[in-house]
Amino acid sequence: MSYRVDIERLGPSAIIDLQGSPPRIRDWIGDALPPFPEIPNTASASNGLELYWIGRERWLLRGDIGRENDLLARARPAAAPLEISVVPVSDTLEFFALTGPEAGEVVSIASPLDHHPRVFPENGASYTELFGVKGLLVRRSRGFELGVERSFGDMLEDFLVRARA
């Protein structure tokens, strides 16, 4: 059986790993950030940027790679105060888009995470296991995005194609 799913390897994203309390991070970076999500393992979006709540006082800021220099200028990682951590990680993650009516079926093969819309809504974002490696799962209106450490990109693409087949 073949699933009706399109798989697309996405271009690079600007990504900054943030750790610390939301008020302290906002004080440091300012209004460049989207609102902090109110529910763990969800995302918020504003002004072309997304903010994923991925752990206790841990966030990923993601945007277009063309905005990376501006985001880093605002976030000033090297000068960040001790109570927060600001680490650029753009070069570490590779993303794939899964779209189509049966994208969820392929995600079910890739990950043990319950991604039913009732528990993992359209703004869902969480680390999980993807074919045995740590990966980020983000729900989109037409499917999902999956992100893995760049060195596992070719493996993930191969497994996704096999799972779809």
Average pLDDT of the residues in 144-154: 98
The pLDDT of residue 148: 98
Residue 34 lies in a domain: yes
Strands in the chain per DSSP E: 6-9, 13-19, 43-46, 49-55, 58-64, 85-88, 93-99, 125-130, 133-140, 143-149
CATH number at residue 160: 3.30.1360.120
Task: Domain count for the chain, please give it.
Answer: 2
Question: Tens of pLDDT along 52-64?
Answer: 999 999 999 999 9
Residues 84, 24 within the same domain: yes
What percent of the chain is predicted at pLDDT more than 90? 98
* Range(s) of the domain holding residue 82: 13-90
Residue 70 DSSP symbol: H
The pLDDT of residue 51: 98
Give first-to-last CA distance, the chain, whole Å. 7
Last-in-domain residue among 90, 125, 140: 90
Residue 78 lies in a domain: yes
Residues 52, 114 within the same domain: no
What percent of the chain is predicted at pLDDT more than 70? 100
Residues 134, 83 within the same domain: no
CATH number at residue 54: 3.30.70.1520
Phi/psi of residue 131, each to 5°? 50, 40
Residues 86, 101 within the same domain: no
Residues 86, 29 within the same domain: yes
Average pLDDT of the residues in 21-29: 97
